[in-house]
């Protein structure tokens, strides 16, 4: 024990020294002496990333030791440290390195060349103890089980913890799987599928950093509470180039304020809604019911239905998005109107053979039309500039427009009351409508001009390197607009995650999707658009699906995009839910999904679930007693129930979360609250890691009362 403490002290001394060196290099990079702006930015970012990497290791820097049969000793930790003076001998092995793998996979029956595995326990920078396994004999696995049980039995704090010190072999195989396409991680409640997916991201960043880091990683979760819960895991592993978002965040600047009716959500989630969107756009490309007369200075021109119809067809046939095709529509209309006008104005003195005069008259007419308010109003009426938000809002709030496109179920009085299901439609419309070009602000132009001037000044300073013997510019001296634009983007001092989160067109190298069974077909279109390489880690449990537009099978979702390029792996061990509670949850699962095998709990807690039947008037007092009782314990607690129970959280908002104690209120009404009530009840029952209580007025539903699992009748204070 003394030698381990001394070694870890040396590791922290090494870490502190390395931090100091990187901090010096970071400050030097900030000064940027003798370097260009671009070179300075690159150096600053590189040193900032290294500081972040070193900054995660203050707690739990070293958590394990492996002793090989040949006498080699390896210390395993969050990051790698090396002795530069001794030919970069590894002092601490990064947990993701191949040589660290036996720490997670070696067993008594299959030691993988290892003789001993020691797991170090620490508080802050101090080693407080260890557990040890002698490998190569069956009884050597007990200590490993003890370390795992100590971790899963520990009280929960705020946020999900990393499992870097206690990754199990089943989990490690998934974390290190080098699959180039989509990997589906499926498992029941408590199997650790989310934390495994996050550790897999850390592993992929370690093994493919150059390929992934530049574009970053997107992690998509079901709600902000879930993202807050998991948000510390990757930073604790030294990875920060990650964007966390819900599906409602995938259109920057949009605020979700409402919730769809189930029938509306189902329509919006189906790929058939694409026909609705296209029809809604076509409905705004109109023909005039009566000819529009435009009074010009020398002539009156008529914009009639045949002219508009020709222009509309040409614009549609161009294949351009709506807003970009408007230029085609405008070109045809102005051509017809100016031809008619010239024929009248030049009657008797102007012929087509006089090309120059003809075109001069046309130019004058075009200039006049461009400034004419009646003509502008007519074009806007027949082929308006559309934004995704305005098109959808107008569609949703108009029964006539919805009837015209066959989508009456989407009506709502407030068209701008956005829902999560609207996000993929708005995202789709960005491409269907095309860009609405906005003039740049003076500030934006000034910033770009200033940066461009700086780049040009640097080039002029270094110009002598680009000159030939006759003092003529070489080809390399030419500065193309695209090059300058790229340099301006690189000058953006925000990190990858900040830039990506603000840019709808940003594409990621890898995407993690949690609670993926809830995503609709349209949600998947958005995500596939965000990741052209189709590199995904998909996390889900089909038995917990509650969205009517969600996935029935993984193949139904993925074969459309990655046929033959997706694989699935299942986690079968429940680390969260003790067997006493899981028996009850399994009885519920068998009632609504009899073909699904529940995960096997790795532990028991010694406390059976309890129930108490009271009147509804007593709910508030009983909930208060539960809350007060749990506040005296270490850990976390929550009350889950129907929406009308004060102080209760609905089951759908707790998906992916875990608590030491759960009080489930009125399970019968949870079950009958919506079409997915059985899945909601299953979710609610599997959030507890230690204690589960049930408070009810109505009789327990058959899924609970009819099971063979005993629910103790007890007071709330148990």
Q: Pull the structure tokens for residue 445.
A: 């132009």
Any binding-site annotation on 246? no
> Is 189 annotated to bind ligand?
yes
Residue 49: count of CB within 10 angstroms of its CB? 19
188 labelled binding-site residue: yes
Instruction: Work out the number of other CB atoms within 10 angstroms of the CB of residue 83.
Output: 11
Instruction: Check: CB of residue 419 under 8 Å from CB of residue 260.
Output: yes
683 sits in which H/E element: helix 677-685
| Four-CA torsion 678, 679, 682, 684, nearest 10 degrees | -100
Report phi then psi at 644, rounded to 5.
-90, 5
Contacts of 163 (CB under 8 A, 6+ apart): 151, 171, 192, 195, 196, 199
Rg for the chain (alpha carbons), in Å?
Answer: 32
Find the helix or strand (DSSP H, E) in which 377 lies. helix 373-382
Instruction: For residue 599, give the 3-state DSSP assignment.
Output: coil
- Say whether 194 counts as a known binding-site residue: yes
CA distance readout (Å), 581 to 328, 361, 658, 703, 711:
66, 86, 13, 14, 9
For 583, phi then psi, to 5°, come to -60, -40
Measured CA distances, 468 to 289, 459, 473, 477 (Å): 68, 15, 7, 11
Is 594 annotated as ligand-binding? no
Q: Which residues of 340-366 are buried (b: 16+ CB within 10 A; e: fewer)?
A: bbbeebeeeeeeeeeeeebeebbebbe
**DSSP characters over 240-258:** --EEEEEGGGSSTT-----
The single-letter DSSP state of residue 41 is H
Looking up tokens 């026909």 gives: 275
Residues 6+ apart with CB under 8 A from 213: 205, 241, 496
In a 13 Å sphere around the CA of 309, the CA atoms on its Cβ side amount to 5
Q: Could you give the residue ranges of the DSSP H alpha helices within 289-321?
A: 305-317
SS3 assignment, position 470:
coil
**192: annotated binding-site residue?**
yes
- Do residues 540 and 524 make contact, with C-beta atoms less than 8 angstroms apart? no
Q: What separation in angstroms does the CA of 689 have from each of 30, 155, 409, 479?
A: 48, 9, 42, 62
Alpha-carbon distance of 499 to 497, in angstroms, equals 6
> Which segments are annotated as binding site?
187-194
Annotated binding-site ranges for ATP: 187-194
């Amino acid at each position: 024990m003394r030698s381990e403490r001394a070694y870890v002290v040396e590791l922290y001394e090494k870490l502190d020294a390395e931090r100091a060196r990187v901090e010096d290099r970071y400050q030097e990079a900030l000064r940027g002496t003798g370097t260009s702006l671009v070179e300075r930015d690159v150096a600053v970012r590189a040193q900032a990333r290294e500081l972040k990497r070193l900054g995660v290791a203050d707690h739990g820097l070293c958590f394990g030791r492996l002793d090989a049969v040949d006498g080699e000793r390896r210390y395993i930790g969050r990051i790698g440290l090396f002795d530069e003076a001794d030919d970069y001998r590894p002092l601490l092995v990064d947990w993701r390195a191949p040589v660290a793998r036996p720490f997670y996979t070696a067993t008594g029956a299959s030691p993988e060349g290892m003789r001993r595995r020691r797991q170090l326990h620490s508080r802050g920078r101090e080693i407080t103890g260890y557990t040890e396994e002698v490998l190569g004999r069956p009884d050597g696995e007990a200590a490993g089980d003890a370390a795992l049980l100590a971790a899963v039995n520990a009280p929960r704090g705020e946020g999900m913890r990393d499992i870097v010190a206690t990754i199990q072999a089943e989990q490690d195989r998934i974390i290190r799987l080098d699959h180039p396409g989509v990997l589906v991680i499926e498992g029941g409640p408590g199997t650790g599928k989310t934390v495994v997916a996050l550790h897999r991201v850390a592993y992929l960043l370690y093994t493919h950093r150059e390929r992934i880091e530049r574009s970053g990683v997107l992690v998509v979760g079901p709600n902000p509470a879930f993202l807050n819960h998991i948000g510390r895991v990757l930073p604790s592993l030294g990875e920060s180039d990650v964007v966390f978002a819900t599906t409602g965040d995938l259109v920057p600047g949009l605020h979700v304020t409402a919730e769809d009716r189930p029938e509306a959500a189902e329509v919006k989630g189906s790929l058939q809604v694409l026909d609705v969107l296209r029809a809604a756009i076509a409905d705004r490309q109109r023909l005039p019911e009566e000819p529009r007369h435009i009074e010009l200075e020398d002539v009156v021109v008529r914009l009639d239905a045949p002219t508009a119809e020709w222009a509309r067809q040409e614009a549609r046939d161009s294949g351009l998005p709506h807003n970009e095709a408007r230029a085609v529509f405008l070109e045809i209309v102005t051509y017809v109107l100016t031809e008619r006008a010239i024929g009248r104005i030049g009657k008797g003195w102007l012929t087509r053979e006089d090309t120059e005069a003809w075109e001069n008259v046309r130019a004058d007419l075009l200039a006049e039309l461009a400034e004419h308010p009646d003509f502008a109003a007519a074009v806007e009426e027949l082929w308006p500039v559309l934004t995704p938000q305005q098109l959808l809002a107008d569609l949703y709030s108009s029964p006539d427009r919805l009837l015209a496109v066959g989508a009456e179920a989407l009506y709502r009085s407030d068209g701008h009351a956005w829902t999560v299901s609207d996000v993929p439609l708005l995202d789709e419309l960005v491409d269907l409508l095309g860009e609405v070009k906005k003039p740049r602000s003076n500030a934006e132009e000034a910033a770009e001009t200033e940066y461009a001037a700086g780049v040009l000044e640097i080039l002029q300073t270094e110009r002598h390197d680009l000159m030939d013997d006759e003092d003529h510019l070489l080809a390399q001296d030419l500065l193309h607009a695209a090059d300058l634009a790229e340099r301006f983007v690189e000058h953006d001092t925000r990190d990858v995650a900040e830039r990506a989160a603000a840019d709808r067109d940003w594409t990621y190298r890898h995407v993690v999707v949690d609670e993926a069974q809830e995503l609709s077909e349209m949600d998947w279109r958005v995500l596939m658009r965000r990741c052209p390489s189709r590199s995904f880690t998909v996390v889900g449990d089909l038995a917990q699906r509650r969205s009517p537009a969600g996935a029935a099978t993984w193949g139904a979702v993925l074969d459309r995009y990655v046929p033959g390029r997706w694989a699935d792996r299942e986690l079968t061990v429940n680390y969260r839910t003790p067997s006493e509670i899981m028996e009850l949850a399994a009885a519920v699962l068998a009632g609504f999904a009899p073909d699904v095998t529940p995960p096997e709990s790795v532990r028991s807690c010694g406390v059976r679930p309890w129930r108490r039947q009271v009147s509804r008037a007593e709910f508030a007092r009983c909930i208060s007693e539960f809350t007060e009782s749990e506040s005296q314990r270490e850990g976390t607690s929550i009350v889950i129930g129907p929406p009308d129970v004060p102080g209760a959280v609905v089951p759908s908002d707790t998906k992916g979360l875990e608590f030491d104690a759960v009080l489930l209120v009125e399970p019968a009404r949870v079950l009958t609250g919506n079409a997915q009530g059985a899945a909601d009840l299953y979710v609610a029952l599997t959030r507890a890691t230690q204690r589960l209580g049930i408070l009810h007025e109505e009789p327990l539903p058959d899924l609970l009362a009819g099971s063979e699992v005993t629910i103790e009748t007890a007071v709330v204070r148990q």
